[in-house]
Amino acid sequence: MSTILDSIIIGCWMIFIGYWAVSAFGQKATAEQKGFLSTLTYRTPLTLGGFLLWFSGFPHPLNLVLTPHTDLAQAFGAMVCVFGLFVTIWSRRTLGGNWSSEVAFKQGHELVKTGPYRFARHPIYTGLLLMCLGTAVEVGQLHSWLGFLLLFAGFWIKLMQEEALMLRYFPNEYPAYQKQVKALVPFVI
């Protein structure tokens, strides 16, 4: 069963990468984008976190098992990853041409508050973090959990930069939206 669950998680990530590559076309032109140093502040933990999450063969203590390799734990990890994939694709489709891989404001940018954006202001990150959580559960070793934490930190830094941009461009609407909808986890944070 472990091989099937591994394949489900790998398949989720392959679908995510494929969907993101195809959907990157047809975006609105960029009106403003953060500079290199701002980008580096979130890309560094995201890159290191991804490396720790995905790669294996780390020495002790990074290879310590924190999550048992039981069928139940791995099934839970696969289900969380599949749900995260659903959330990312739903969120990306809802955001449409406003999406950017960088912290950017698009020409004709709209404040999207429908679909998954009713539940979280940054549901793409919510979905990605769910996929990362499912992967960390499935891998189960200390390095994967450290990777998850670094990925969380990287997405948090990025969303804070996006929040500042949205507050500047939507000074009346965005504060009200922030009060109504949590950033990542509905009703929590």
Residue 3 has pLDDT above 90, yes or no: no
Cα–Cα dist 16/145, whole Å: 21
Residue with tokens 């500042």: 164
- By C-alpha distance, which of 148, 11, 126 is closest to 66? 148
Assess if residue 79 is contained within a domain.
yes
pLDDT of residue 1: 58
Residue 173's pLDDT band (boundaries 50, 70, 90)? Answer: very high
Assess if residue 24 is contained within a domain.
no
Q: How many domains does one find in the chain?
A: 1
Average pLDDT over residues 70-83: 95
CATH code assigned at 158: 1.20.120.1630
In contact, 50 and 115? CB cutoff 8 Å: no
Q: Which residue has the higher pLDDT, 5 or 47?
A: 47
**pLDDT above 90 coverage of the chain, percent:** 87
Assess if residue 174 is contained within a domain.
yes
Residue with tokens 């990853």: 81
Cα–Cα dist 5/70, whole Å: 11
Assess if residue 115 is contained within a domain.
yes
pLDDT tens per residue across span 115-164: 999 999 999 999 999 999 999 999 999 999 999 999 999 999 999 999 99
pTM score, whole prediction: 0.94
Residue 142 bridge partners (DSSP): none
What residue numbers bound the domain in which 79 lies?
31-97+111-180
Residue 27's pLDDT band (boundaries 50, 70, 90)? Answer: confident
Q: What is the largest CA-CA distance in the chain?
A: 52
- By C-alpha distance, which of 85, 55, 75 is closest to 3? 75
Q: Using omega within 30 degrees of 0 as the cis cutoff, is the peptide bond preceding 175 cis?
A: no
Residue 104 bridge partners (DSSP): 33
Residue 52 has pLDDT above 90, yes or no: yes
**pLDDT above 70 coverage of the chain, percent:** 99
In contact, 34 and 102? CB cutoff 8 Å: yes
pLDDT of residue 136: 97
Assess if residue 105 is contained within a domain.
no
In contact, 95 and 66? CB cutoff 8 Å: no
Four-CA torsion 22, 123, 95, 54, nearest 10 degrees:
-20
For residue 18, the tally of other CB atoms under 10 A from its CB is 10
Mean pLDDT for all residues in the chain: 95
Q: Which residue has the higher pLDDT, 27 or 77?
A: 77
